[in-house]
Amino acid sequence: MFSTTLPLPLLINRYHPLPSPSPTAPPRVTLRDDGTLLAKESLPPELVAELMPNHVAVIMDGHGRWAKPRGLAATEGHRAGVESLTRMVMLCCSWGIEVLTVFACSTENLARPKKEVDFFMRLFETTAKSSMECMQMKGIRVCVIGDLSKVPESLQRTVARVEDVTKDNKKLQLIVALNYGGKYDVVQACKRVAMKVKDGAVDVEDINESIIEKELETKCTEFPNPGLLIRTSGELRVSNFLLWQLAYTELYFSPKFWPDFGKDDFVDALRSFQHRQRRFGGRH
């Protein structure tokens, strides 16, 4: 599930090994509107603008499995995933989607080999630093959710800087879940509500869904509950992601590994969403 998660127009050769990246040297970023990756995309005719979800969430899965048959290290799979995310971010900007939440690293992912975790954290940090200009230019606001107390302090500072620089952007809100878990999110929300009860700010009888939602990590957005969740790699589970927020989310599972998930795949997911009847527990 690891992925380098900030929007960078970094093209990846999918069939040949790439030079090993230096964790201390950020990937080179080119801002382009030349008809290729970053060009404005009109809404495909098979999609209806009025039926687009406000919030799309993505579990970007399959980086290592994409890399293995190509004779590449898992880290190269993470790097290749940048291309897919960049494309999706730009399509969301063009197609009127207001919030995109991506699962970059779960609380369970930190149990992976230390070498892989350390590489990912360094790469995430250098990528975040190098992409600030891109996000500012494109009007993308970045919010990072999760337990950042367990990530390197330098990364914490970088996250704070990126969030501050992009805080007034309105085109798209990109929420990156880093060291995040749905159970963690609910537990920390309950603790905050309990402290308010202890301090006399809230009565136990007044606790409701709204009060809890205001303490969840997704309180950073106007649209905390995704309309559509996409998971790649063929796995049919939500893996402890946004457990509260996904209560009535439409789920879409793609067999593609994340680095291979492209525009046509995104259109298929959105078209599936638009053909569903969303009843939210009621009858129509």
Helix (H, G, I), strand (E, B) or coil at 269: helix
How does residue 283 score in pLDDT terms, banded at 50, 70 and 90? low
What DSSP element (H or E) covers 104? strand 99-106
pLDDT value at position 185?
98
**Stretch 78-107: mean pLDDT:** 92
Contact 54, 97 (CB under 8 A): yes
At residue 38, does pLDDT exceed 70? no
- Which DSSP category does 254 fall into? -
Residue for token pair 């995309």: 41
pLDDT value at position 279?
78
At residue 254, does pLDDT exceed 60? yes
At residue 15, does pLDDT exceed 80? no
At residue 125, does pLDDT exceed 80? yes
- Which CATH homologous superfamily contains domain 49-181+224-273? Decaprenyl diphosphate synthase-like (3.40.1180.10)
Contact 156, 187 (CB under 8 A): no
pLDDT value at position 173?
98
**Least confident stretch, 32-41, 64-73, 97-106:** 32-41
More confident residue, 197 or 33: 197
**Stretch 36-60: mean pLDDT:** 85
Residue for token pair 């360094």: 122
**Stretch 44-55: mean pLDDT:** 97
Q: Distance from CA of residue 158 to its chain's centroid?
A: 17
Q: Which residues contact 84 (CB under 8 A, 6 or more apart)?
A: 60, 258, 259, 260, 261, 262
Catalytic annotation present for 185: no
The token pair at 2 is 């690891």
Active-site option among 33, 61, 147, 260: 61
pLDDT value at position 37?
41
How does residue 1 score in pLDDT terms, banded at 50, 70 and 90? low
**How far is 235 from 101, CA to CA, in rounded Å?**
18
Q: What are phi and psi of 226, to 5 degrees?
A: -65, 140
List the strands of the sheet with 250-253, edge to edge. 140-145, 172-180, 99-106, 55-59, 228-231, 250-253
pLDDT value at position 268?
98
Contact 132, 29 (CB under 8 A): no
Report the share of the chain in percent with pLDDT over 70.
85
Q: What angle in degrees, to the nearest 10, is found between the helix axes of 263-274 and 74-95?
A: 50
pLDDT value at position 260?
97
pLDDT value at position 226?
98
The pTM (predicted TM-score) of the whole model is: 0.84
